[in-house]
Structure 1
Amino acid sequence: MRQPGDRSPAPGPLALVQDLLNTVDIEAGRDRLRTIAELTAFAAAHDAAGLSFTDSDVTETRRFREALRDACRGHAGSEVPAASAAALRYTLGTSPLLLTIDGTGAARAVPATGLGGSAALIAGVAAAILNAATAGTWPRLKACAAHRCQWVYYDHSPAGRGRWCTMSICGSRAKMRAYRAGRSATRSGPAA
């Protein structure tokens, strides 16, 4: 799986969300969540070993992943499709979470105990999103504005206005397309 060259991973719990979203490389046409074995390996790599999954868990997790990608595209300025927003409202709204207080008095959301399959994995993602939203970091998790890329990155820029996973690749391509479109419009402008 590719890694954008000039972006570092998302901090803390958002790393789980970023990793889930980047299990598909749209540009290369590779998906690492096609089978039960792949979903099991992903869960084990993210401290959720021992979960068992079914084919419907794979389908549900992939559907959730793509709706969540649309939300991250919204962070980069795109409109979140109504169907994706509705799917996220339902899925995240039914994820059982608990509020815990640690020894320092800090509060955070955690998945409820006793969950299995995709419900456990999605509850972990929901807790990560809620904790990041509380910390103000959730809007910085963005999907690249380049339609053929959509790689999810954490926007570390001071202003938080990044639109591309890498300026040197996707940003450069977008600027070149805009430049060519401007030149083409100038050349085909009104005849004198």
Structure 2
Amino acid sequence: MSERSAAPGGLALVESLVNTLDIETGADLLDTPEGRDRLGVTEAGLAEARELREALRAALLAHAGHPPHRTVTPLGTLLARAPLYVTVDDHDGSARLAAADTGPLPSRIAAAVAEALVAGTWTRLKACQAETCHWAYYDRSPAGRGRWCSMQVCGARAKMRRYRAKEQ
């Protein structure tokens, strides 16, 4: 798990959803009322939230250059159910994409992804390369080539495994 600061803007919501599942321990915040409340997920929307979480994780693994290790519903298919529209500010003329229905989690995620696309930050949100982690993190490295959520934990483990493999 990362010690990094939260992703900017709406990507914080995406990061928060993906990080509701700790792959290493199996702990799932969506199993708790507090975890669901934090994201506005109802009991009825739990399966949809989990499906969306894993589709997002697959996209974030792709951002890091790694194929997902499991089959999931494509993110585009899930977000197509959450239509967006263009809003224009009457005062300054600025425009942005907004969710047609701001309540459901998929609509808020779709708006966050659209906002990040426009801002050029979408591909900076990645999933940790470590198989036992896949924690979402925002890559703030200058070159945008970060591979682990934490150099002190996941990065150090990977480097130690490579070092030990060379010794043998």
> Based on CA coordinates, which of the two structures has the bigger radius of gyration?
1
Instruction: Determine whether 1:59 maps to 2:47.
Output: yes
CA gap 1:110/1:39 in 2 versus in 1, 3 angstroms: farther
Do the aligned partners of 1:9 and 1:15 also contact (CA within 8 Å) in 2?
A: yes
User: What is the SS of the residue equivalent to 1:72?
Assistant: helix
- Residue type at the aligned position of 2:85: L
Calculate the TM-score normalised by the size of structure 2: 0.89
Preserved contact between residue 39 and residue 58 of structure 1 (Cα < 8 Å): no
CA offset at residue 65 of structure 1?
Answer: 0.3
Structure 1: gaps spanning 5 or more residues: 45-50, 185-192
Which residue is equivalent to 1:14? 11
Q: Which residue of 2 aligns with 1:87?
A: 74
Structure 2: where are the runs of 5+ without partners?
none
SS in 1 for 2:98: strand
Q: Which residue of 2 aligns with 1:125?
A: 109
Paired residue secondary structure (1:30) = coil
Question: 1:142: how far off?
Answer: 0.6
Deviation, 1:104, is 2.7
1:33 aligns with 2:30: yes
Q: CA RMSD in A?
A: 2.0
Greater RCO (Cα-Cα under 8 Å, separation 6 or more): 2
1: CA distance between counterparts of 2:36 and 2:160? 41
TM-score (norm 1): 0.79
Structure 1 residue 112 corresponds to structure 2 residue 100: yes
1:71 maps onto 2:59 in alignment: yes
**Number of aligned positions between the proteins:** 167
One-letter amino acid of the counterpart of residue 23, structure 1: T
